[in-house]
């Protein structure tokens, strides 16, 4: 189990246009709204839509976050696009008792059969949920629900206002996608 009483570092893996950067920003804003110390930032160059991107969060309930570099040894890795599993090592640096959260239709057993694992894991078919509730294959808010089911870094209600501000008229659908993913996420320790 991830200890949320201290600094938690999260690395998001996605593709340009899927919302990894937005997810990190929304999560940091929710943490700040709860009075926690947080930062979010992306890592990408001149890539275009569809290219692999990373985003990062650091959340500390007690101390200011002073580290500014990318997260090399995350407590949590969130994978928005399952095709990234075949082209990069998304678990690079993941702490030994770290948590891997996957968007996959295969479930945890399917991932373990193909890749093996030594981490805590969670999975949800975020792509299906996003298509059904949002009408698009953008899984950022859906994966926020999976993250919160797996590790309580913020209260789900703290994400409502940042989502409303960011998505305006589409906010309700995104909030529903987050809540549904929370309910459907399977967590295995």
* Residues spanned by the domain of 14: 8-188
**Is residue 46 assigned to a domain?**
yes
Judge whether 24 lies within some domain.
Answer: yes
Share of the chain above pLDDT 70, in %: 95
For the entire predicted model, the pTM comes to: 0.94
Residue 1 lies in a domain: no
Q: What local confidence, expressed as pLDDT, does residue 158 receive? A: 97
**Residue 23: closest CA among 60, 53, 1, 3:** 53
Residue 2 falls within a domain, yes or no?
Answer: no
Question: Does any domain span residue 103?
Answer: yes
DSSP β-bridge partners for residue 40? 57
CATH code for the domain of 128: 3.40.920.10
What's the average model confidence in pLDDT over 68-83? Answer: 93
Mean pLDDT score of the chain, rounded to an integer? 92
Domain assignment of residue 3, yes or no: no
Over residues 49-75, the pLDDT tens digits come to 678 899 999 999 999 999 888 899 999
Q: Residue 160 domain-assigned? A: yes
Is the model's pLDDT at 137 over the cut of 60?
Answer: yes
Our count of domains for the chain comes to 1
Q: Give the residue with greater pLDDT, 107 vs 122.
A: 122
């Amino acid at each position: 189990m991830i200890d949320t009483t201290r600094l938690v570092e999260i690395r998001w893996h996605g593709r340009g246009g899927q919302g990894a950067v937005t997810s990190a920003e929304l999560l940091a804003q929710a943490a700040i709204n709860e009075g926690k110390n947080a930062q979010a930032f992306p890592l990408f160059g001149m890539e275009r839509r569809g290219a692999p991107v990373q985003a990062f969060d650091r959340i500390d309930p007690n101390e200011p976050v002073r580290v500014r570099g990318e997260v090399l040894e995350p407590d949590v890795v969130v994978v928005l696009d399952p095709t990234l599993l075949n082209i990069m090592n998304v678990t690079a640096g993941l702490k030994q008792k770290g948590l891997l959260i996957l968007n996959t239709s295969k479930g945890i057993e399917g991932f373990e059969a193909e890749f093996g694992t030594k981490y805590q894991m969670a999975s949800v078919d975020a792509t299906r949920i996003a298509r059904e509730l949002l009408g698009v294959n953008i899984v950022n808010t859906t994966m926020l629900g999976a993250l919160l089911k797996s590790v309580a870094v913020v209260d789900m209600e703290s994400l409502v206002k940042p989502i409303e501000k960011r998505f305006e008229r589409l906010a309700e659908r995104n909030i529903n996608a987050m809540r549904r993913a929370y309910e459907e996420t399977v967590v295995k320790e």
